[in-house]
Amino acid sequence: MPRLDSGTPAPDFSLVDQDGQPVSLTDFRGRRLVAFFYPAAMTPGCTTEACDFRDSVAPLQAAGYTVVGISRDEPAKLRAFRDRDSLPYDLLSDPDHSAHEAYGAWGEKMNYGKVVEGVIRSTFVIDEDGAILHALYNVKATGHVARVRALLGV
């Protein structure tokens, strides 16, 4: 899978959110975006990461960033996840993992000592014009949001 570098255009996507509403990258033009790709809603690691973003969303928003999470889960599961954990940002559904592939967040990875194909936990910071500011691959669920905030000075 391709890896995105700083300064490259962010691949466009058209997905639906937890309420079935269409969302595209172009909807965020003029705003900075933090998009995090995670394996599965309501699993322990993904819950930790999503709640860390929840707890940091106010300072991120104050600094001009919008946060979205992207997974392969269907909208109903995303809605349940958002409601259960009071997540104040949209969760986008990418069931065919096309956006994951475009961002390099899908591919071979190690899972309990075996090579498997799946979601590579990744976060992308995208500027107002749709260019990649930061592409962070193979991130850990715990402590990752603090790293993002430090990188952004937030």
Query: Which residues are CB-neighbours of 128 under 8 A, at least 6 positions away?
Result: 29, 30, 31, 32
What is each CA distance from 105 to 50, 90, 135, 142, in whole angstroms? 17, 19, 10, 18
CA-closest candidate to residue 121, choices 48, 66, 20: 48
Q: Where are the alpha helices (DSSP H) in 19-68?
A: 44-62
Query: Which residues are CB-neighbours of 126 under 8 A, at least 6 positions away?
Result: 10, 25, 28, 32, 33, 34, 35, 132, 133
CA distance 76 to 82: 10
One of 46, 60, 87, 126 is an active-site residue; which one? 46
CA distance 56 to 66: 11
Active site residue 46: yes
Q: Active-site positions?
A: 46
